[in-house]
Amino acid sequence: MATTARSVRDVSLAASESSHDLSAAPAATRDAALVRLAELLVERTADVLEANAGDLADERAASLDAALRDRLTLDDERIAAMAQGVREIAGLPDPVGEVDEERTLASGLEMRKVRVPLGVVAVVYEARPNVTVDCAALCIKSGNAIVLRGSSYAARSNGALAAIVREALADAGLPESAVEMAEGGERSELAELATQDGVVDLVIPRGGEGLKAALREVATVPVMYAASGNCHVYVHEDSDLEMARRIAFNAKVQRPGVCNSAETLLVSAAVSERFLPGILEDLSEAGVELVGDERARAAAGDVLVGEATEADWDTEYLGMKMTVGVVDSLDDAIDHVNRHGSGHSEAIVTSSDEAGDRFTAEVDAAAVYVNASTRFTDGYEFGLGAEIGNSTQKLHARGPIGVRELTTTKYVVRGTGQVRE
């Protein structure tokens, strides 16, 4: 479904025209398209893997670091997970028409506040082909058309997956153009997409600070930032240290190239000498490069820990590197997290309900954990089937962006002839 001969405007208009049919389609029809999509993903696995192999073999992919290459890579298990995510999305309650509020006004008018689709959602994302399916499925479920602008690194994979989505729509009797791709990597095309007023209703970028800055400069369409994750794990003085060791290791190593992995480990000074040698050895043996403050380095034992720079505390590594710090108190930990965190996901390990409650109340983030890894901030793990991204904004949606976050509200008012005096 190459769109190289079509302008961003043409692609956006096609999606806009289809959005009306999609939003009016019965929930059963939209769900049927998703069920068919899951079937086709399984049936066409070999085709998708062939396209993905082409992306991985492309000379441009040779410049990607290990974490980005992992994001780009598909295999049987990941495609099966995509299909399962689509099935779970299909099984979610339909958000379209959901009544948020209903009451009779003093005038006798019957008022309902109901959920309706946004219209056309544009998603700009990096080299993660699974995002193509996740975002398309969430938009179909919520009655929205979508314009996808993926990375040129994943052009073959994205094209193969988008073609499967469009086939599923057609098989269900829905317009194929409800899912469109705007291809090409030029900055001018990104600017054009972000200025489609009256055609595109929302832009969601999934990428780093450079992408966010580029959109801020030009966007006239509303933007919901699926932002970066500079996430922390704080080990409080009264924590179960074996539990803390498991959580800190998982939060960093289980999949380091994603936004909910931990980039900084903070440890209470009261337990730093007992805790740090073991966890730092675990991390180092797993291949994590460690940098830290003076006290963390002094408590590291035989493990090599480099000197952390000021920039390290604010960096989302998205790879096998971690910053380690020692703090004197819960207040200091909360202050550090709020100063350096990106508002994504933060965790405390503690046996104290009071400390856990203070951390969750005072840390400013979309997801805050007590005695659990930050790696759970994910639409699939949260029961949403998938997510378009994780919003760190405070307006409209915060945290995983699922089907309900892709709707807005409309007041429907019924009367019996009332006029206002």
Whether residues 170 and 37 share a domain: the answer is yes
Whether residues 220 and 237 share a domain: the answer is no
Are the C-beta atoms of 18 and 121 separated by less than 8 Å? no
Whether residues 269 and 295 share a domain: the answer is yes
Q: Is residue 381 part of a domain?
A: no
Radius of gyration, alpha carbons of the chain? 23
User: How far apart are the C-alpha atoms of 233 and 251, rounded to whole Å?
Assistant: 8
Residue 2 has a pLDDT of: 40
* Cβ burial, residue 89 (10 Å; 0-12/13-18/19+): buried
Whether residues 15 and 54 share a domain: the answer is yes
Record the tokens describing residue 73, joined without a space.
């890579």
Q: Is residue 167 part of a domain?
A: yes
Whether residues 62 and 75 share a domain: the answer is yes
User: How far apart are the C-alpha atoms of 125 and 58, rounded to whole Å?
Assistant: 19
For 46-84, how does the pLDDT look when each residue is reduced to its tens digit (9 = 90+)?
Answer: 999 999 999 999 988 888 878 788 889 999 999 999 999
Residue 1 has a pLDDT of: 40
SS3 state of residue 17? helix
Q: Is residue 128 part of a domain?
A: yes
pTM (whole model) above 0.85: yes
Q: Is residue 110 part of a domain?
A: yes
Q: Is residue 419 part of a domain?
A: no
Whether residues 310 and 395 share a domain: the answer is no
Residue 185 has a pLDDT of: 59
Whether residues 49 and 90 share a domain: the answer is yes
Number of domains in the chain: 2
Are the C-beta atoms of 316 and 263 separated by less than 8 Å? yes
Residue 3 has a pLDDT of: 40
For 83-126, how does the pLDDT look when each residue is reduced to its tens digit (9 = 90+)?
Answer: 999 999 999 999 999 999 999 999 999 999 999 999 999 999 88
Residue 101 has a pLDDT of: 96
Residues 6+ apart with CB under 8 A from 305: 280, 290, 291, 292, 296, 297, 324
Whether residues 255 and 124 share a domain: the answer is no
Record the tokens describing residue 268, joined without a space.
């209470």
Find the domain containing 371 and state its range: 231-376
Whether residues 267 and 316 share a domain: the answer is yes
Q: Is residue 12 part of a domain?
A: yes
DSSP of 146-170: EEEE--GGGHHHHHHHHHHHHHHHH
Q: Which residues pair with 265 in a beta bridge?
A: 233, 324
Whether residues 53 and 168 share a domain: the answer is yes
Q: Is residue 382 part of a domain?
A: no
Q: Which helix (H) or strand (E) holds 234?
A: strand 231-235
Q: Is residue 2 part of a domain?
A: no
Whether residues 222 and 283 share a domain: the answer is no
Whether residues 365 and 285 share a domain: the answer is yes
Half-sphere exposure (CA, 13 Å, Cβ side) for 150? 31
**Which residue positions in the chain have pLDDT lower than 50?**
1-4
Alpha-carbon separation of residue 359 from 234, 341, 346 (angstroms): 10, 14, 9
| CATH code of residue 263 | 3.40.309.10
* Cβ burial, residue 33 (10 Å; 0-12/13-18/19+): buried
| CATH code of residue 39 | 3.40.605.10
